[in-house]
Amino acid sequence: MITIKEAISKKDLKAFVTFPFSIYKNSKYWVPPIIKQELETFNKDKNPIFKDAEARFFLAYKGDNIVGRIAAIINWLEVDKQNIKKMRFGWFDFIDDKAVSQKLLETVENIGREQKLSYVEGPVGFSNLDKVGVMTEGFDHLATMITWYNHPYYIEHYKALNYQIEKEYSESKFPFSNVQPEFFIKAQQLIKRRYKLKALKFTKTEEVMPYVDRMFDLFNESYAELSSFVEITDLQKAYFKKKFISFVNPEYIKFVVDDKNSLIAFAIVMPRFSEAIQKTKGKLFPFGFTHILKAKKNSKDVIFYLIGIHPDYQNKGVHAVIFNEYYETFKEKGIETCYRTPELEDNYAIKQIWKHFDPKVYARRKTFKKDL
């Protein structure tokens, strides 16, 4: 018999966060969460997303054993401001037992009906800066710290429970040796002269901070047209600034400004921390930080996390300025492989930006939807 229990206490929430450690303990490709950070994500007193969203966390039990988990999420900015009556779910993991996945999804569906929402979609997080999608291809590739990994059997559960594909994403990579600078060196010089642009270089995190709020404003403007978009609020800016920026080498953050010092483009690249985080086993203390810091300094693989260009400057070659800056940085650091985070299949603009590097798709993922 399957029973569902809401995780409310600190003990239950920790069980929620650590459940995947049991079903992926023998996986070479799963990257664990940092337990402390994950708990803070779900802490209503620490994560400002809860000013505009709500979430409930559920565990599935078979006897005394936890056999699944799911987060039921409503982003009220999405529901009320955008009139998208969506019930979200995420952090969805389960043993290969359809009775378990069914019970968990039914719990979310019932909340959606109670709130008079139109459909349920997942797996997704609270916003565009959270993890997204169930993996459908690429199970033999090491995951990243900013994606969910899952067993292949997950997809069959969605299909069996009458969920339909909603959005499709791909992840790709290319060797740095594919980067031919002649594609952008002359172009970026011309673009900078024509539009009076300047690239900013950073060597210290404190140099980046004065621009971060403007970066999130530009993020909201440049991503607004995407089908998955939910805006980042002022409170969330401060939270993400603290959560993410410290993980990023300052020289991997590139900003482009105009002659009035207005930010018109940005990009954030992160070292690929996957192996280091596997070594932490989800804990930063006592030695986890050592693995993270070593990877931050020495990783030869990088992940293009975010890139945004102001709508007024899109399709004008500004990305050439950004790529030129990264080319110089990566050449100096001996970078070998460049990875890209999940990108919507219908985001044709981003595909055009990357085409010269001949990226190869190594993983795909999807979100699934069901009308309520």
Domain co-membership, 117 together with 241: no
**Are 258 and 316 spatial neighbours (Cβ–Cβ below 8 Å)?**
no
Average pLDDT over residues 310-338: 93
- How many other C-beta atoms lie within 10 A of the C-beta of residue 19? 20
What is the mean pLDDT of the segment spanning 70-81? 94
- Sequence length of the chain is 372
Query: Would you state the structure tokens that stand for residue 121, as one six-digit string?
Result: 């979609």
Instruction: Judge if 144 and 21 occupy the same domain.
Output: yes
Q: What is the structure's pLDDT at 19?
A: 98
Tell whether 353 is covered by a domain.
yes
Instruction: Give domain status of residue 332, yes or no.
Output: yes
Q: Is 369 inside any structural domain?
A: no
210 and 140 within one domain = no
Q: Is the pLDDT of residue 348 over 90?
A: no
pLDDT at 16 over 90: yes
Tell whether 217 is covered by a domain. yes
> In the 8-state DSSP scheme, what is residue 260?
T
Residue 368, in any domain of the structure: no
- pTM of the predicted structure, to 2 decimals: 0.92
Of the two residues 249 and 352, the one the predictor is more confident about is 249
pLDDT for 228 beyond 70 = no
Amino acid at 241: K
For the chain, what is the largest distance between any 2 Cα atoms, rounded to a whole number of angstroms? 69
Assign 335 a pLDDT band (cuts: 50, 70, 90): very high
| Domain closes at, from 146, 171, 196 | 171
Query: Is 218 part of a structural domain of the chain?
Result: yes
Neighbours of 137 (CB within 10 A): 16
Tokens of 69: 């988990």
Asked if residue 371 is part of any domain, the answer here is: no
pLDDT at 246: 72
Where does a domain end: 171, 195, 222? 171
Read off the tokens for 74. 């409503």
Q: What is the domain range of residue 158? A: 2-171
Amino acid letter, 154: Y
pLDDT digits (tens, 9 = 90+) for 107-117: 999 999 999 99
The per-residue DSSP string of 140-165 comes to TS---TTS----THHHHHHHHTT-EE
Task: Please state, in angstroms and rounded to a whole number, the distance separating the CA atoms of residues 343 and 366.
Answer: 11
Strand-strand pairing, 86-94 and 119-122: parallel
Confirm if 44 and 50 have CB atoms less than 8 A apart.
yes
Q: Say whether 108 sits in a helix, a strand or coil.
A: helix
For residues 134 and 205, state if they share a domain.
no
- Same structural domain for residues 226 and 322? yes
Give the domain-ending residue among 171, 198, 220. Answer: 171
Whether residue 204 sits in one domain with residue 81: no
The DSSP letter of residue 233 is: P
Q: Are 356 and 323 in contact (CB under 8 A)?
A: no
Band of the pLDDT at 285, cuts 50, 70, 90? confident
Give percent above pLDDT 70 in the chain.
99
User: How confident is the model at residue 227, as a pLDDT?
Assistant: 61
Are 118 and 132 in the same domain?
A: yes
Token readout for 235 is 């409170």
- Pair 118, 182 in one domain: no
188 and 159, same structural domain? no
Which residue do the tokens 């529901």 mark? 79
Q: Any idea what the CATH number is for the domain that residue 87 is in?
A: 3.40.630.30
350 has a pLDDT exceeding 80: no
**Are 272 and 147 contacting, i.e. CB atoms less than 8 angstroms apart?**
no
Residues 225 and 151 in one domain: no
Same domain for 232 and 131, yes or no, is no
In a domain, 367, yes or no: no
Flag whether pLDDT at 125 surpasses 90: yes
Q: What's the number of domains the chain is made of?
A: 2
Place of tokens 């993890």: 131
Same domain, 147 and 262: no
- Please determine, for residue 128, whether its predicted confidence score (pLDDT) is greater than 90: no
